[in-house]
Structure 1
Amino acid sequence: MRRSLFLAVPAAVLAFLYWWAIENSVPEGPAYDFQIERLREAAEAPAGDRPIAISVIEVGRGRAPGFAVGLGLDFAPVDMTFSAFRVAYPDDASVLIEAPADRQVVEEELGGDFYPEQYARLVQAMDVADAILVTHEHLDHISVVPRHPRPEVIAPALRLTPPQIAALPQFAPNGVVPEPLDRLIAERFDKPRKVAPGIAVLETPGHTEGSLTIYVQLADGQEFLMIGDIAWNMRNIEKATTRPRIMQTLFFDPPEDRRTVQAQVRALHELSKAEPDLLILPAHDAAQQELLMRRGVLQPAG
């Protein structure tokens, strides 16, 4: 009896630790308020003034086990895209969302495949963008900002928040942010705020302190909600799951705000059911992006 108890206790402890590490559920309860109606109101513009298309500039691709993405005990590799989105207007104006990564980040930091031609398109798109936004301050979303070859060209277009600006030295060559990026004026989006016709932004901290959600409405009425890394895959939204606890607490520095991210995923899960025509875009879901490009909802860069 004592021997059985002696064996049972560590087994129970190991089972608990295993559950703690992989647990990725999103409890029922009060959901996060993305203020979707206020985002719509803020972005309001005549159809002729709204953007006409969103193109995807994929600079690289990696793979992560389904377990890490938040798909339960599925360890099959899941394609992860590192992309920017160019929101185009009829008069050739544009807003660029995300400045993901260069060769060093994609290949050395993320262990992925780098696409140099697409990277050249990203740099060019940043050169001519009327506004540049990033969803948050992780290296695969913002690192091209301090590494851009012409910082003086992109500086006037950057619309970064205080946490995003504070993160730039981490990704700058030798830790030195080049002029004039070292004196950017930070912006706040603590309330839904228009940045261009058809585009509004809201601060939604949780994954990081500087996380933003970006709402876009095209001239044809199609709506998008770009959520950055609140979830990595649309299946997280559909099934109401987050990244496993071990990823949230050990993979990110600083760790995610787990409870807030859970509430955000719950809200997006409910929103996706209530408004199926609103396209929720996780930043890294390669399969979703490919499907939307095949359907002509998103456009390939080129």
Structure 2
Amino acid sequence: MAGAIAITGANGFVGRALCTSLRAQGRTVVPLVRTAESSPPDGSRVVGDIGPDTPWSDALKDVDCVVHCAARVHVMHDKDPDPQGAFRRVNVDGTRALAVAAAATGVRRLVFVSSLKVHGEQTFPGAPFHAKSVPAPQDAYGQSKWEAEQALWAVAATTGLEIVVVRPPLVYGPGAKANFLRLMQWVARGLPLPLGGIHNRRSLLALGNLTDLLQICIDHPAAAGQTLLASDDHDMSTPELIRGLAAAMGRPARLLPVPVSWLRLAGRLTGQTPQIERLTGSLQVDIGHTREVLSWTPPWTVQQGLKLTVQDVKG
């Protein structure tokens, strides 16, 4: 079993949950945060902004494994004048600097939370993304995650640092934000949603399933050197997801069978095409490789994950 485990982005959605879960198991956790604001977990070490010059070394003292959750995340309507450069500075250069410092300070393993966006934005029927799918990122965020992975393998090749890459799809759970939170609020309000005519398939990942997988990746001997895809292993259509959320809330699902072509036309007219494509398109993951390498089965069902997610949601 590993010694001290450092978690970057420890006050974020995934990082905070992982710190809590590891400590519940009696593990020694070193939370790493950008600033001391936003009520960071106890014992946090402040590292400042993440980039090529982040002073990681002191923060990694006596650490055996790092789980790198921190990132510049995908945002709609990015206002940075150079989004690609901003993503690269944090997600590529910052990750490379972390790996170099980790190797220099004697860290054994680095687990990198990447993204399914490395593979692209959609899949076709019967052709889910799998461990050997060719990367084809479609936006600056996905591209930066792919470049960060390559930077990590380059450091590993010259230092012996063990690398594990995990590529999750959309993660949901208590504290979920952005589009998932917005969808939950629509359902909670009982609003009629014109999404009943969608027949897609999407893979999601409950926060509890992601933290469970990351914990295994910290210690499992077979995880080193692997790129692992993750999901709940239970794909759903958008209407099925809405019905699941409604059931978890004890509310009716109000779905109108509007043709997908109409939704896409509305998206073009309103400048909301990316959002419509996420609701109507398919994005599936085959986790067979992860199951085989780690003997891993997602411990949380979709129903359990959705129930936990909606507990604090108000319309």
TM-score higher than 0.5 here? Answer: no
Larger RCO, structure (CA 8 Å, separation 6 or more): 1
Q: Which has the higher strand share?
A: 1
For normalisation by structure 1, the TM-score amounts to 0.30
For normalisation by structure 2, the TM-score amounts to 0.29
